[in-house]
Amino acid sequence: MSLKSRSAVVTGSTSGIGLAIARALAKDGANVMLNGFGEAAAIETERAGIEREFGVQALYSPADMSKPVEIAGMIAGAGKAFGAVDILVNNAGIQYVSPIEDFPVEKWDQIIAINLSSAFHGMRAAVPGMKKRGWGRIISTASAHSLVASPFKSAYVSAKHAIAGLTKTIALETATFGITVNCISPGYVWTPLVEKQIPDTMKARGLTKDQVINDVLLAAQPTKQFVSVDEVAGIAVFLCSDGAKNITGANISVDGGWTAA
Ligand code: NAD
């Protein structure tokens, strides 16, 4: 329970990696603010379940990560409710796949806003309190696409590369204040999002489920295994520990060897 008395905001935590990170931080004793879209009843069940299971305070913010004013409001609200925002996890993200000549301009703007600018706005709002208290942990869920590119993902790859640069910059700005700023770069993670793509890909490419998994999704991943959400969450918890106080400005790959190739 090393995070007892700490409080965290995890963006995009109604599903997938963000939910696993929020649950892992709560398991380690932190109060958590959930955020993201979804069905109200399901989100409430998850929120109440975290409080019951881990004995922490869990709140939910519906803030839209494409809206700077809502992001600042979420951080201020968490600070008021918990007394502090000690941990900020910038995790909300979306994807869109298209050749650049057909890439919708509004999709580019949306991905840059949600996958990149939201982290800027969140950090901008959370850093002053962390500096004042002399302790903070900022983690962004980047991607293997912060290090290498794939075709047809211009906005996503641009946003994720930029997150790695933003991470390094804010790490340098906050290094003497007891704050660390890092990103985690997963390869393919088994989330509902990835799972839901399989039937459509089977149909579109005329492949079996195994072929989609092995020849399409895992083609880039030398281990030929999906990363699990819990593996990503475990790294986030470690980065929040005192043992990780000298890890800052890092981009930690969890990609089954993808970016070693
Ligand atoms: P997911 O779709 O399961 O979760 C995305 C979360 O973001 C959801 O809670 C969703 O409601 C929220 N969200 C989306 N738009 C939002 C908005 N405008 N405002 C607030 N919340 C919003 O996806 P995931 O796979 O868990 O992805 C989480 C992060 O991990 C993303 O940044 C993604 O790029 C990154 N990532 C995922 C993988 C993977 O293979 N799944 C790999 C590398 C990186």
The bridge status of strand 136-141 relative to strand 179-186 is parallel
Please list, in sequence order, all residues whose beta carbon lies within 8 angstroms of the beta carbon of residue 243, skipping any fewer than 6 positions away: none
Q: Return the pLDDT at 151.
A: 86
- Of 66, 94, 216, the one to substitute when testing ligand 1's pocket (max ligand atoms within 8 A of C-beta) is 94
Q: Return the pLDDT at 75.
A: 98
Q: Return the pLDDT at 97.
A: 87
Q: Return the pLDDT at 205.
A: 78
The three-state secondary structure class of 79 is helix
The three-state secondary structure class of 180 is strand
Q: Residue 156 catalytic?
A: yes
Each residue's pLDDT, cut to its tens digit, for the chain (261 residues) gives 699 999 999 999 999 999 999 999 999 999 999 999 999 999 999 999 999 999 999 999 999 999 999 999 999 999 999 999 999 999 999 988 889 999 999 999 999 999 999 999 999 999 999 999 999 999 999 999 999 998 889 999 999 999 999 999 999 999 999 999 999 999 999 997 778 767 877 877 788 999 989 988 899 899 999 999 999 999 999 999 999 999 999 999 999 999 998
Q: How many residues does the chain have?
A: 261
Q: Return the pLDDT at 115.
A: 98
Q: Return the pLDDT at 220.
A: 87
Q: Return the pLDDT at 101.
A: 95
- In this structure, the residue with its CA closest to atom 12 of ligand 1 is 12
Catalytic residue from among 60, 96, 156, 188: 156
16 Cα: distance to centroid of ligand 1 (angstroms): 7
Contact 238, 184 (CB under 8 A): no
Fill in the amino acid letter for 121: H
User: What is the rounded distance in angstroms from the CA atom of residue 58 to the CA atom of residue 23?
Assistant: 10
The CATH number given to 7-189+228-260 is 3.40.50.720
31 Cα: distance to centroid of ligand 1 (angstroms): 21
Structure tokens at 31: 């109060």
Contact 179, 139 (CB under 8 A): no
Other CB atoms within a 10 A radius of the CB of residue 1 amount to 11
256: left (phi over 0), alpha (psi -120 to 50) or beta: left
Structure tokens at 62: 């519906």
The bridge status of strand 87-90 relative to strand 58-61 is unpaired
Q: Return the pLDDT at 146.
A: 98
Contact 240, 87 (CB under 8 A): yes
91 Cα: distance to centroid of ligand 1 (angstroms): 6
